[in-house]
Amino acid sequence: MKFEWTDDLKQQFDEEQQKTVEKLVQSHEDKIRTEYSQKLNDMESKIQELEQYKPEEKSEEQKKIEEKENELWQKQVDLTLKENGLDGFEGLITAKDEEDLNNKVEQLNNVLKKKKVNNSYVPREHGSTDKYSQAKQEGNPKEMIKSLINK
């Protein structure tokens, strides 16, 4: 922004006063310009410093390689699950490495074993299999009496 003298202002000040005012204005402008230049330089140096931390953009080829690696890893996960009889869980298990995968497979197998034991057949009562009970179940009173006498 440049300071300009209007006719009104020129008449109020003599030439020496005008030069003094111009010098003061120029001095103030220079201070502001210097201050903002310094701030700009500081910001530019910070930007350059932070640029080194900016992640490198991946090429299309690198993206395709990573995609193939992920597909291969998922196939390995699915195969490991299938080998352990857990093929119904494909797509549900995610692991970051082989050790993590093996731990998850072991945990899942343990849970399934516990469920299998809990859901297995447990007889409620053992009914007596003597002749009297059989005869009673069949509704045969002759055999019931016979079994009581033969005891």
Task: Give per-residue pLDDT as tens, 71-125.
Answer: 999 899 888 888 888 888 887 888 888 999 899 889 988 888 887 776 666 666 6
pLDDT beyond 70 at 127:
no
- 42-57 tens-digit pLDDT: 999 999 999 888 888 8
Q: What's the number of domains the chain is made of? A: 2
Same-domain status, 69 and 47 = no
Number of Cβ within a 10 Å radius of residue 18:
14
pLDDT beyond 60 at 31:
yes
What pLDDT, on a 0 to 100 scale, did the predictor assign at position 11? 78
Residue 43 placed within a domain: yes
Residue 56 placed within a domain: no
Q: Compute the C-alpha angle 119/121/122, nearest 5°.
A: 105
Same-domain status, 114 and 84 = yes
pLDDT beyond 70 at 126:
no
Summary mean pLDDT of the chain? 85
- Supply the range of the domain harboring residue 105: 64-119
Question: What is the separation, in whole angstroms, between the first and last Cα of the chain?
Answer: 126
Same-domain status, 40 and 86 = no
Q: Compute the C-alpha angle 105/110/113, nearest 5°.
A: 125
Same-domain status, 44 and 71 = no
pLDDT beyond 90 at 65:
yes
Residue at 99: amino acid letter: E
